[in-house]
Amino acid sequence: MIKIYSTPTCPYCHLAKEFFKEKNIDFQDINVFEDENGLKEMIEKSGQMGVPVIDIDGKIIIGFNKTEIENILTNNKKNSEN
């Protein structure tokens, strides 16, 4: 499960969501501007107030770090194949 904690005005949030859409990867978008519980959850997981925060199966990525996202996705795919 992939969750992206984002706001409507965050350019890096849009980049992250577009990245997942281009790769046909499902994700849950949590708009922390409108969702107070989502904001609390994001802060508890990451210790951060800034967005995006991306949660890939419990692995937290702060910001849109494409390389780190690809590494986690690749490792998750390898682990599921074994």
Domains of the chain, by residue range, sit at 2-81
Fill in the amino acid letter for 10. Answer: C
pTM for the full predicted model: 0.93
Q: How much is the pLDDT for 81? A: 78
Tell me what percent of the residues of the chain surpass a pLDDT of 70: 99
Number of other residues whose CB lies within 10 A of the CB of residue 16: 26
Instruction: Give the CATH number of domain 2-81.
Output: 3.40.30.10
For residue range 49-67, list pLDDT tens digits in order. Answer: 999 999 999 999 999 999 9
Q: Does the pLDDT value for residue 33 go beyond 80?
A: yes
For residue 82, pLDDT beyond 70: no
Contact 59, 65 (CB under 8 A): no
Residue 25, pLDDT > 70, answer yes
Place of tokens 């992250």: 16
